[in-house]
Amino acid sequence: MQEIHASQVRPPFYRDERVLGIFSQLLVVIIVVGLGLFFYSNMITGLREKHNVAISFSFLGQAAGFDIGESLIEYSRERTYLRAFVVGLLNTFQVAFLGIIFATALGIVIGVMRLSTNFLVSRIASIYIDIFRNIPLLVLLIFWAQAVFLKLPRVAEAIILPGPIFLSNRGVAIPWGIPTDSWGTFLLVLGAGIVLGAVVSYLLREQGKRTGRMPLITLWFLLTVAAVGLVGWIVLPQPVTLDQPFLEGFNTKGGKILSQQFMALLSGLIIYTAAFIAEVVRAGIQSVSKGQREAATSLGLNPAQTLRLIIFPQALRVIIPPLTSQYLNLTKNSSLAIAIGYPDLFAVAGNTILNQTGREIEMFTMIMGTYLSLSLLTSLLMNIYNRRIRLVER
């Protein structure tokens, strides 16, 4: 009784817990914002008084003046600093994108191998994980660059594989397609193929729902797209011509050259991250209860079917969140490229541009903002995927 009575009498506001709670939270916000403003204004005053400079991004429009070894877009020394920044960003994006795909594939294979009942297979997988998870990435990258790719023969004595593919310590030169005039039309045909494929898979799904027997929708989708693409390829006058690499002067010319630094960075990142992904995959698979496997076996599914249809879909729910972290790590770790000479975002912007312009605050704001955006974008995509595969309760 007494308690009810006490709560009915409102205490004065300075002793009211609710008021005090709101008040203290407000105070914390004011302090955080105030401190931020204080540091910012301190920086601005310091810069103005000490060096007589103000924060400005106008230097981005000036000519960069330096060359970059590899670029996905057209770039030369007359282009602006902003263009150089974008070149670095695309190089980072390229290595992160390919790294994520290959690291996932390798990681899943190793993770499944780790759980194999075959002694040799599971030993190999666990040795792989134990070695590469426990070597610092920087060490691994420098080892990969200096002890593996730099030890390939010089370009004049390059190993020539059929294709032709040139393997040398300058990198790997491979044949590459060059789009011709009809390339645009071919892309349109391919687009039509995808639309057709979507229609086909929709019809198959409807039919599956009616008959109760689901056909292999993905396979039919791919087959449709490939068929349409093939027709387009034959009908159109050569949408792509093959450009083969050849040796001339100091370097190989033609085709596409995957430079030694790029290969070293990519393989280092893949091998390192795959070890972590393997453990994530193993944990995910082991999280699926034993009963599921036993039930699948008793229904007559073979081990491969059990893994693909029963275990993996359930394991994915556990795998995706930590896998996202690994993707973010891989993207951020790619900034170690600076150690082996690959012109990624950090090497171009945080080193060369910074050296030349002396704009530390502007450059680092841009670099940090870019990595943050890349990471948030990756998280967003993974979260969308995670939501899709979440257990749907009916």
Partner 1 sequence: MKSMRKLNKVGMILSMVIGMIIAACMSPAAGPEVVESDEAAAPAMQEVQSTLSIVQERGKLVCIGNAQLPGFGFLDSEGNFSGFDVDYCRAIAAAIFGDANALEVRPATAKERFTILSSGEGDVIIRNTTWTMSRDTDLGMNFGPTTFYDGQGLMVRKESGVATLQDLQGASVCVVTGTTTELNLADQFAAAGVDYEAVVFEDFDQSFTAYDEGRCDAVTTDKSSLVSRQTTLTVPGDHVIINVTLSKEPLGPAVRHGDDQWFDIVNWVVYATMLAEEHGITSQNVDGFMDSNDPNIRKLLGLEGDFCAKIGLSNSGCFVDVIKQLGNYAEIYDRNLGPDTVFDLPRGLNSLYTDGGILYAPPIR
CB contact set of 76 (below 8 Å; sequence gap of 6+): 67
Between residues 164 and 341, which has the closer beta carbon with respect to partner 1?
Answer: 341
Between residues 138 and 214, which has the closer beta carbon with respect to partner 1?
Answer: 138
Measuring CA to CA, how many Å separate 227 from each of 3, 195, 196, 364? Answer: 78, 13, 11, 49
Between residues 70 and 243, which has the closer beta carbon with respect to partner 1?
Answer: 70
CB of 236 to partner 1, least distance (A): 34
CB of 168 to partner 1, least distance (A): 8
Handedness of CA 374, 380, 384, 385 (dihedral sign): positive
Beta strand spans in the chain (E)? 159-161, 165-168, 171-174, 176-179, 240-243, 246-248, 251-253, 256-259
Q: 326: exposed, middle or buried (C-beta count within 10 Å: 0-12, 13-18, 19+)?
A: buried
CB of 363 to partner 1, least distance (A): 14
Between residues 20 and 227, which has the closer beta carbon with respect to partner 1?
Answer: 20
Task: State residue 63 phi and psi, 5-degree precision.
Answer: -70, 135
Quote the distance between the C-alpha of residue 353 and its chain's center. 25
CB of 120 to partner 1, least distance (A): 36
Residue type, 84: A
Between residues 20 and 199, which has the closer beta carbon with respect to partner 1?
Answer: 20
* Closest C-alpha among 192, 191, 180, 196 to residue 239: 180
CB of 303 to partner 1, least distance (A): 47
Task: State residue 318 phi and psi, 5-degree precision.
Answer: -85, -30
Between residues 92 and 306, which has the closer beta carbon with respect to partner 1?
Answer: 92
CB of 259 to partner 1, least distance (A): 8
CB of 4 to partner 1, least distance (A): 15
Between residues 44 and 82, which has the closer beta carbon with respect to partner 1?
Answer: 44
Buried b / exposed e over 288-316, threshold 16 CB at 10 Å, is beeeebeebeeeebeeeebbeebbbebbb
**C-beta separation of 92 from 347 below 8 A:** no
Residues that bind partner 1 in the complex, under the rule CB under 8 A: 15, 17, 20, 23-24, 27-28, 30-31, 34-35, 38, 41-42, 45-46, 49-50, 65-70, 77, 142, 146, 150-151, 154-155, 169-170, 248-251, 253, 259-261, 338-341, 343, 347, 351-352, 355-356
**Angle 73-183-201 (CA atoms, 0-180°, nearest 5)?**
105
Which helix or strand (DSSP H or E) is residue 303 part of? helix 303-305
CB of 152 to partner 1, least distance (A): 9
Between residues 294 and 360, which has the closer beta carbon with respect to partner 1?
Answer: 360
